[in-house]
Amino acid sequence: MSQNPSNEVRRQMLEEAKTIAVVGLSNKPDRTSYMVAQAMQNVGYRIIPVNPVIAGETVLGEKVVSSLAEIDQPVDIVNVFRKSEDILPVAEDALKMQQKPKVFWMQQGIANEEAANQVRAEGIEVVQDMCIKVDHALLRVGK
């Protein structure tokens, strides 16, 4: 697996980010995706839930969209909670966004080298197999 950006680069990405699209965000509070998104929201990030199964519902006070293509505002980080084998279509969707994200972040336990290479080739930073919430805490991000 390719190297993730350094701690310093990841800290900078998290400090500069304002909006995180969370692909695969569940509406169930006991799910990891919900807990992580809620934690990130609690420290000041805007969360955009992306989940076709619950599109139109409200999760964490935000309307759920069915795909990244529906997002019509800048997104700094696309944070993905999907199985590794389901990442490629998500990466392709991220590349089709009106404004490409700065970071494509695959949660802990998730990695897809083909998707990572495609996204990286478009100038987007890639993080694989790391929890954004844990990283935020460990790197002592300023927000």
- Report the distance separating Cα 69 and Cα 117, nearest Å: 21
- Which one, of 54, 38, 47, 57, lies nearest residue 18 by Cα? 47
Backbone angles phi, psi at 5, to 5 degrees: -60, 155
Assessment of whether the complete model's pTM goes beyond 0.75: yes
Q: Which residues pair with 20 in a beta bridge?
A: 47, 77
Q: What is the pLDDT of residue 51?
A: 97
Does the pLDDT at position 84 exceed 80?
Answer: yes
At 5, list the tokens: 């950006």
Q: Tens digits of per-residue pLDDT, 4-55?
A: 999 999 999 999 999 999 999 999 999 999 999 999 999 999 999 999 999 9
The distance from CA 37 to its chain's CA centroid, rounded to whole angstroms, is 9
pLDDT band at 95 (very low <50, low <70, confident <90, very high): very high
Domains in the chain, please, with CATH?
A: 7-138 (3.40.50.720)
